[in-house]
A and B are shown apart, each in its own frame.
Chain A
């Protein structure tokens, strides 16, 4: 179509063959570029599917020699004696994550309120990039600071001779996910329509009443998303936790007792395990659990987003 329309114009300038050649070339370039981009998109999504398939295939081999019951419900992790109970690590991960959220969520929401509502916008513009710096600090540096500053401090405060454990790990993780939750909640609070807030003040509500009665409910979906994303980060974090958790496969009945979580156990044991052993497969199964949990949380976030759109 377009060729027949523009052909006369080309003829006038006397460049028919060159014009068609150029057109062909451009069309070819466009087609191949498009295919190249599509291939890249397929590759990116293929990585996740390959990973999921592979982790599951290796992990599921565990159950050839270990029963489901033992893996999920036994707390005895002694690979040397063929005991593969992962309960310690699963429980450890849930305990650390719960405590982390309990510390980080209230502080983050208050900080987000500060940035979005209370602070003068000039001050908020300075503070936001400063909080972003926390996101940039490598996790191993957090672990190092936890090991050299936090644990000695915990020892003096509590008077016990062990500082590493669930409490230390949760404190370090809370600092790490604080900026994540704060910034996303901050965005959510700022999208609450101005007129809701002004309406509340116009009815004579105080700032506290406006925050609890209008702002937080209106921004609640965004805040929940922020918390889930922070939680995903806390569950998957490895190196910072390894350095402060103590790495002992025992159930933590106290906040200051060395224990282990899924991530720390994988990274500590993986380098020393022969590839085709049950031990190795059990570690991959734990990796698959982590993968499944993080994907589940993303699904929840997407669901919340969809609800928000409707």
Chain B
């Protein structure tokens, strides 16, 4: 009697466990698939809203303050101009700092402190770089809201990321390669340039792409240091012009502009912004992905 009763309750317990297990499995699958679909839907929605009206005259056209039909030419140009300037400053510095930490730095307290600073800098909100930029360029040097100030502030924002990526990539180079090169009589510097950097290049390029994608969409720093307006002419290479980028333009149009077609300009700008960022992110990730798949197969 009692034996069969415990058997019954055991079986019931097993059944209950199995049911909760199934429910849990279903929930996890639902969340996993749901997140993926949500991401794809979000991107599709942005593109669907903005893509249909895109035209070359919009992409290269001059903006208009009052009439409908203005373009985003100068803002888009500024985006690329500021991005390239900031990368030109931050890539050499970031690479050099990363190489130092990976190759030359002695293992002591001071270097530990430098590492903490780099890690800390990577977590500083971008807005703070904007405040710093204002104090340095707008107030300190008195040059007002400029492309130059925006580019340098943005470069500071990029620095810790590039440093860390470079350090990690250099550390992942197999030590045998380095030892081989040194054994052949190469100096440490020659080894770094001829052996380590080429091997680490893949990782470094990925890091640069991620940084560039983030910098292209960054808006808080630009609003504060480069302003919300452009010089209003196309191909303006003067680094002291006001430097609103496309990301800032999107915000400005959506929240403060008075043109009648502001909503349309915003949706198209969002699509252009997203397409460029995805391209920057993907262009160098596709080869990596292929290599990864080849390794797995």
Contacts and interface: CB of A to CB of B under 8 A. Distances in A.
Contact of B25 (A118, A138, A148): A118
A65 to B, nearest CB: 19
Nearest to B255: A243
Interface in B168-196: 187-190, 192
Contacts of A30: 187-190
Interface size class of A (residues with CB under 8 A): 35 or more
A121 to B, nearest CB: 8
B114 A41 contact: yes
A138 B216 contact: yes
Contacts of A283: 131
Q: Which residue, of A140, A270, A283, A290, has the highest number of chain B Cβ atoms within 10 A?
A: A140
A115 interface: yes
Nearest to B157: A47
Interface string A214-248: 00000000000000010010011111001100000
A207 B25 contact: yes
Given A113-B28, A141-B270, A136 B128 contact: no
A267 B124 contact: no
A34 B189 contact: yes
Interface in B184-240: 187-190, 192, 210, 213-214, 216-220, 223-224, 227-228
Interface string A174-199: 01001000100000000000000000
B59 interface: no
B35 A239 contact: no
Interface string A68-80: 0000000000000
Interface in B226-271: 227-228, 247-248, 250-251, 254-255, 263, 266-267, 270
B119 A302 contact: yes
Interface string A290-310: 110011011000100000000
Given A30-B189, A44-B94, A144-B254, A127 B131 contact: no
Interface in A37-63: 37-51, 54-55, 58
A131 B34 CA distance: 11
A7 interface: no
Interface stretch (B1-9, B16-24, B61-69): B16-24
Contacts of B284: none
A141 B33 CA distance: 23
Contacts of B103: 37
Interface in B74-132: 92-94, 96-97, 99-101, 103-105, 113-114, 116-121, 123-132
A55 B254 contact: no
A300 B90 CA distance: 28
A178 B35 contact: yes
Given A138-B216, A208-B21, A44 B274 contact: no
A130 B37 CA distance: 9
A176 to B, nearest CB: 11
Contacts of B51: none
A287 interface: yes
B121 A145 contact: no
A14 interface: no
A206 interface: yes
A94 interface: no
Given A133-B278, A232-B123, A236-B126, A127 B24 contact: no
Contacts of A143: 251
Q: Which residue, of B28, B192, B255, has the highest number of chain A Cβ atoms within 10 A?
A: B28
| A-B residue pairs, 9 tightest by C-beta | A138-B217, A236-B125, A114-B32, A45-B117, A40-B96, A37-B100, A206-B21, A110-B31, A238-B220
Interface of B: 17-18, 20-21, 24-25, 27-29, 31-33, 35-36, 38-40, 42-43, 45-46, 92-94, 96-97, 99-101, 103-105, 113-114, 116-121, 123-132, 134-135, 138-139, 156, 159-160, 163, 187-190, 192, 210, 213-214, 216-220, 223-224, 227-228, 247-248, 250-251, 254-255, 263, 266-267, 270, 273-274, 277-278, 281, 285, 289, 293, 296
5 contacts: A46-B117, A133-B39, A138-B274, A175-B38, A294-B124
